[in-house]
Amino acid sequence: MQTGYYASAAAMVTQFNKLDTIANNLANVNTVGFKEDNLVIGDFMRIYQEKRDDLPNANQTKEGAAFINRTMTRAPKIVDAYTNHSIGTMQKTSNPLDFALSSEGVFFAVKTPLGVRLTRDGSFTKNDEGVLITKQGYEVLADEYLKTGKGKISFTSDDNIIVADKNGQMATNIPNTTKLTPNKKLLIAQPKDLSLLKKEGSGLYSFGDIKNITDLKSSGVVQQGFLEKSNVNAVKMMTQLIETNRLVGMYQKAMNTQMDDMNKDAIEKLSRKS
């Protein structure tokens, strides 16, 4: 069979994977704290232009031609995937339990049944016991967790005023007064390597060992009464969606052409033998 058919089929699979990524980005365009995912697709021409002077065989030789032919029959494929951690738009809510982070690469820490996870979604609330939790019911951790292994943030029914400074230090009012007294401090976690983060859904990231994160004591990035919107650019994603759909159509046409040529060739050979 002709290698072009296999190359076109493999390229279509690559574009289908890209469509999945684009669709997921678009589906989360309004998800608080969501970060855009991207794929890197291998491009032979770009690689060739960068490495043509380092070919293992000299130009104008049979060996060099054979190398080029082998290389050009390789199908496009996904060579890397990454998450864009740039900051999304800040939306003011004036809700004292909504928090946003004004710097990229830092996260809130929450306690889940699978262990500590990181998130940029600061739309918190209180459960029936007054504990600060996420929308999924996970406890939001205080900075003391890294030292003691305990660190939930609790409020009483008399805590009518809840404020937090830019470092995440919480304070509540003394009962029946407007005077404030210190409460717990939010754990503002900074991973040592963003590439170690893995998305787990619901805006959560796993990061491996707890030693892979550090607590920023004086981060200056906490904004109370705000939420960080998704950093997905809907216009860019729609453009990529159209482009990817067109590529799928082109590869489909190439596959059909290859198959038609193979069938025609097979019929001609069979007719000559008969």
Q: What is the DSSP string of 14-38?
A: HHHHHHHHHHHHHHTTTSTT---EE
Whole-number pLDDT of residue 98: 96
Whole-number pLDDT of residue 60: 61
Per-residue confidence at 248, pLDDT binned at 50, 70, 90?
A: confident
E strand or H helix at 11: helix 3-27
pLDDT tens-digit readout, 66-115: 666 655 556 677 777 889 999 999 999 999 999 999 999 999 999 999 99
* pLDDT tops 80 at residue 31: yes
| Cα distances (Å, whole numbers) of residue 239 to 7, 38, 78, 162, 252 | 25, 14, 19, 43, 20
pTM for the structure as a whole: 0.77
Percentage of the chain modeled with pLDDT above 70: 81
* pLDDT tops 70 at residue 45: no
Q: What angle do CA 204, 207, 210 make, to 5 degrees?
A: 115
Whole-number pLDDT of residue 25: 95
pLDDT tens-digit readout, 32-42: 999 999 988 77
CA-closest candidate to residue 199, choices 37, 29, 80: 37
Whole-number pLDDT of residue 84: 92
Whole-number pLDDT of residue 231: 94
What does the alpha-carbon distance between residue 141 and residue 164 come to, in Å, rounded to a whole number?
A: 14
Concatenate the DSSP letters of all residues of 169-231 into one string: EEEEEPTTSS-EEEEEEB-EEEES-GGG-EEEETTEEE-SSGGGEEE-TT---EEETEEEPP-
What letter does residue 154 receive in the DSSP assignment?
B
* pLDDT tops 90 at residue 251: no
Of 225 and 268, which is predicted with more confidence?
225
First to last CA, the chain: 22
Mean pLDDT of the chain: 85
* pLDDT tops 90 at residue 10: no
Asked if 71 and 181 count as a contact pair (C-beta separation under 8 A), the reply is no
Maximum CA extent, the chain: 102
Instruction: Kindly provide the b/e burial profile for residues 25-55, where b requires at least 16 CB atoms within 10 angstroms of the residue's own CB.
Output: bbebeebbbbbbbeeeeeeeeeeeeeeeeee
